[in-house]
Each structure stands twice: as structure tokens, then as C-alpha cells.
Amino acid sequence: MTITGAVKALAGQEGERRELAEGEARALVAAMLDGGISELELGALLALLERRRLTPSELLGSATALAQRSFRLRLPGGAALPVVFASYRGARTEPNLLPLLVLVLNRLGVPVLVHGMLDGAGGVAAAYIFRELGIMPCGSLARAQAQLDAGKPVFVPTAVLAPGLAQLLALKGRIGLSGFAVALAKVLAPFDGDALHVLAAEDDGERALLHEFASLKAARALLLEATEGEPFANPRRRPRMEYVAAGGSSVLFDAETAALRAGAALPGAIDAPSTAAWIRRVLAGELPLPLPLVNQLACCMFGSGYVDDMNQAKAIVAVETGSLAAA
């Protein structure tokens, strides 16, 4: 498909507006990631993709193109598969607690990798808080692999794993469009093997799309509602958490309909130093871990294969976090 043909298909010119076939989406995104499209044409395509939701076949084709242009890491040793988080939004009104989730999961013996941008585009990026906690971004694949093999949590900038995707994301500062690039980043596969991908949806339509994508790929995924675009459970009210794997899907936790009374025990400010200081107190046992995050930890332990039984995962997390209400 030519670029002109893609624009016509997406824009509906000549009465031919339609979705792209998987192969067409793969070829189009390959050209976008390879820099084979002029900036004017790229801007037009991104604008068209921004105003409509991707179809499952389009996301599959796009993900294939991305996978063919991404670097991969070896799976670390151990019983559990790595858990992968994509962090691309940055908190704006609520504290970004993704680093807390990552650090506790790592303490429990589960390998964790976060990939994302180094800035929060006006919000508080997880990268800022990781830095406050002494976790620096890995500037190379070798560094990321060494950290994983040493059993440490890893934050890898997008440019290290997928330079072409990083360039698409960087266009937001010039043309103000990033929805398609962020959607693509959520399905970036950084390992040469299986992993549990935590997929955070921003609405019901995106949740359905990600569910079908994971099902078609026969990939392990934990689906939940995003907290300001970030892949951690809302600490004030637990979202629905659904596990998807080759054998089907199952709801591990239903959504809560009322906010938790304990929600007031959150950081008093959302800036990186304040959030990091609060996280240190939680890790030291001075403050309780919010129950929705306790529930998400159990889901990650189960989905990663650390344990084969969800009730066992709940019990382990309850004991390790001191939250008996999790079991």
C-alpha cells in the first residue's frame, strides 16, 4: 500500500474509508518506524490515526512491525516470568505509585522491567521517581540485561529498546500527537520469550481492543483500568483485573464501586521527591500498602507463574505486605 493509499483509506476519500488489513498496517508502521515517510505525510497519518481507534488486526500488524524493529533481552533465570510495565503518561493529579508496585514485586522475587520515556510530558513520570529512589535508567541493553540477571528492577528508556518508536513519541512536542505511538508502546515486547504484560486501558473500548489483541497473540497479560494513563491500580478504588493467557481469560478481581476509606493515607503531594519519600516509608513498613496495589501484586505473582494458584498468590502477598485483607 502506498502512503497516499493509506491516507485515502484512513480519511475516507473517494468513499473508501476502511480499516487496514493486518499486512497493510504492518507495512505502513514499518515505514513510519524506519523514517521512510516525509514529516508532512507522517503528520497527516498520525492525525488520522489519532482520531480513530485501532482495530485488532491493525494493532496486530503494527505490533509485528514494531517487534521486527526492536531489540530484545534474554529472559532472566528463575521460576517467574518477568513482568513488563509500559509507562508513557505521567501523573498529573494523583501520585504515581508505579515505582512502589515495581519495588515490592521485585522484593517478592519477581523480575520486573519498566519501559518508557524519560520525561512526563508535563506530568510526574515514573522515571523521575525511580531516580529519586536510586534507580537510574539503563542506557544500554547490556546494562539492562546485567540488572535483570542480578535480580534488580529495571527501567529502560524507549530509545534503548525501539529507537524508531522513541522518535514517533518525540514528535508530540512538535505536532502534539502521541495517542497512536503510546498505543503501540503498550504492546512493545522487550523479551526474547514469554512475559506478563500489564496492559492499562484508558476506557472500555481500549480494554476490549487490548483483550482481543492479547487473545489473538496468545500472550500473557493483566488487563486493568489505567490510573492517569499509568499501569497501576487506583489506590483509592480497585479496578477490575483480568488475566488473559493462551487458555482464555479470567477475572481475578472485580472492580470496587466505592472509594476506600484508607485512601487518605496517600502522599500529600504528587511531585517526585514527595512521592519517593512516601514510598520509602511504605517499604520500611511505616505506612500500609494501599489494598488495590496489594491485589495487583497478587495478580502479577499469579500471572508471572511465580505460583500456580491465585489463592496462594493472595496469601503470599498478604503475609509479605502485612495486609491480611488481601487474602
pLDDT number for residue 38: 84
Alpha-carbon gap, residue 229 to 184, rounded angstroms? 14
Which segments of the chain are extended strands (E)?
Answer: 83-87, 112-116, 154-157, 196-201, 221-225, 241-245, 248-253
Q: Is 134 exposed, middle or buried (0-12, 13-18, 19+ CB in 10 A)?
A: exposed
| CA separation, residue 51 to residues 54, 278, 298 (Å) | 10, 39, 36
pLDDT number for residue 326: 40
Alpha-carbon gap, residue 61 to 76, rounded angstroms? 28
CB 85 within 8 A of CB 96: no
What are the pLDDT tens digits along the chain (327 aa)? 666 666 667 766 555 567 889 999 999 999 999 988 888 888 888 888 887 889 999 999 999 999 999 999 999 988 899 999 999 988 889 999 999 999 999 999 999 999 999 987 778 999 999 999 999 999 999 999 999 999 999 999 999 999 999 999 988 656 665 788 999 999 999 999 999 999 999 999 999 999 999 999 888 999 999 999 999 999 999 999 999 998 799 999 999 987 665 555 899 999 999 999 999 999 999 999 999 999 999 999 999 999 999 999 999 999 988 853 443
pLDDT number for residue 16: 56
Helix axes 3-11, 22-33, angle to 10 degrees: 120
pLDDT number for residue 42: 85
pLDDT number for residue 177: 59
pLDDT number for residue 15: 54
| CA separation, residue 173 to residues 117, 168, 178, 228, 248 (Å) | 13, 10, 9, 20, 40
Helix axes 22-33, 56-67, angle to 10 degrees: 40
Given this structure, which CATH class describes domain 83-326?
alpha beta
Hey, what amino acid is at 181? A
Q: Domains of the chain: which residue ranges?
A: 3-67, 83-326
pLDDT number for residue 20: 87
- The fold adopted by the segment(s) 3-67 is 1.20.970
Q: Residue 27's CB: how many other CB atoms inside 10 A?
A: 17
